[in-house]
Amino acid sequence: MADDIRFDGQVAIVTGAGGGLGRQHALELARRGAKVVVNDLGGSVDGSGGSSDAAKAVVAEIEAFGGQAIAHGASVTDDAGVADLVKTTIDTWGRIDILVANAGILRDKTLSKMELADFEAVMQVHVFGTFKPIKAVWDIMKAQNYGRIVVTTSSSGMYGNFGQSNYGAAKMAVLGLMNTLKLEGAKNNVKINAISPVAATRMTEGLMPPEILAKLNPEYVTPGVVYLVSEDAPTGAILTAGAGVFALARIFETEGVYLGEGGLSAEEVRDSWEKITAEPGQQAYFNGGEQGQKFFRKLAGG
Ligand code: NAI
């Protein structure tokens, strides 16, 4: 078909692509013609240990169907490793069109039991491990007036999940990063979106019953990622994907109420709660300034 999504001539980096979702993303991008850098530290689910075997195995799979790929074992949290990941990509193929920031770990504990180290490790991999590769490819993408980036968020961040305060905080942080970068990249055709997956991987294997996991093949998430890194991608979208279902997540703000300037009180806020939270007229904003315009419209009686 003439309008198949293809990536011939394009170069993609997929972090954490030695297994799970990242492996599927890497395989599918390569099937569609991209040259793929398969990055994976090869550690355990809590981030300990490491070996580049996982990434190499995925490269072998890609080469087996005639695709092009190289493995890179850098940790996404390591400055020198990320710099080398990007340098190796440029030295090998001369450009970087796509970055899928997918690497992740879990250190689930309720807050009472959580050590600072558990919070920091998860923030490091998901937040800094998303920021650092993006920062390293950003000016390359801007200079070539083309770039597609996907960050990986989670319902645990957007909506909450018991025992995941570290992970939830980190997964919302990547959305904050995306919300600003969609604005900063627009002029140079650098688009950035988020995927919020649900899939049966080693990360979720103990968390859901087998009959549910059986419906959650990670392959069912990948078409969403492939679209989000394609030429026609939107920007600033949060695509939720799992079990073959795709939906858009958005933050809505209610129209709210103007309570005046003089003599404002907590009691007035309490007594206006129904109006403050009323859903008719609620909106999702594309940037913070749009919210500010609403405040001044209401102040002016609009
Ligand atoms: P996974 O554990 O199979 O894959 C994560 C990969 O990231 C592993 O291969 C691991 O070696 C790699 N990795 C970890 N730390 C790294 C580092 N510092 N540098 C380089 N690579 C590193 O788990 P899964 O499920 O495939 O997760 C992929 C992404 O999707 C993660 O960001 C995860 O938080 C996210 N996610 C997954 C969900 C699911 O239902 N499986 C739900 C919501 C989000």
In the chain, where the domains are located: 11-249, 252-302
Structure tokens, 259: 């309570």
CB distance 202 to ligand 1 below 6 Å: yes
CB distance 43 to ligand 1 below 6 Å: yes
Q: Which among 214, 220, 108, 123 has a CA at the least distance from the CA of 164?
A: 108
Which residues, in sequence order, are bridge partners of residue 37? Answer: 13, 70
CA of 269 to the centre of ligand 1 (A): 42
Report d(CA 299, CA 302) in Å as an integer: 7
- Concerning whether 167 is annotated as a catalytic residue, the answer is yes
CATH number 3.40.50.720 is the correct assignment for the domain at 11-249? yes
Per-residue pLDDT reduced to its tens digit, 195-206: 999 999 999 988
Q: Which among 142, 106, 102 has a CA at the least distance from the CA of 123?
A: 106
Give the mutation target among 174, 203, 205 for probing the ligand 1 site: most ligand atoms within 8 A of CB.
203
What SS3 state is found at 248?
strand
Among 167, 220, 227, 285, which one carries the catalytic annotation?
Answer: 167
CA of 60 to the centre of ligand 1 (A): 20
Classify residue 167 as exposed, middle or buried by CB count within 10 Å of its CB (0-12, 13-18, 19+): buried
- What value does the mean pLDDT of the chain take? 96
| DSSP for residue 206 | T
Per-residue pLDDT reduced to its tens digit, 216-272: 999 999 999 999 999 999 999 999 999 999 999 999 999 999 998 888 999 999 999
CA of 102 to the centre of ligand 1 (A): 6
CA of 33 to the centre of ligand 1 (A): 24
Phi and psi at residue 122, in whole multiples of 5°? Answer: -70, -40
CB distance 89 to ligand 1 below 6 Å: no
What Å distances lie between residue 85 and 76, 91, 92, 160, 273, CA to CA?
A: 9, 10, 11, 33, 51
CA atoms within 13 A on the CB side of 10: 25
Per-residue pLDDT reduced to its tens digit, 3-21: 999 999 999 999 999 999 9
What SS3 state is found at 152?
strand
pLDDT in tens, the chain (302 residues): 559 999 999 999 999 999 999 999 999 999 999 999 999 998 888 888 877 799 999 999 999 999 999 999 999 999 999 999 999 999 999 999 999 999 999 999 999 999 999 999 999 999 999 999 999 999 999 999 999 999 999 999 999 999 999 999 999 999 999 999 999 999 999 999 999 999 999 999 888 899 999 999 999 999 999 999 999 999 999 999 999 999 999 999 999 999 988 889 999 999 999 999 999 999 999 999 999 999 999 999 88
60-89 exposure pattern, b = at least 16 Cβ within 10 A, e = fewer: ebbeeeebebbbbbbbbbbeebbebbbebb
Q: Are strands 238-242 and 245-249 parallel, antiparallel or unpaired?
A: antiparallel
CB distance 199 to ligand 1 below 6 Å: yes
CB distance 42 to ligand 1 below 6 Å: yes
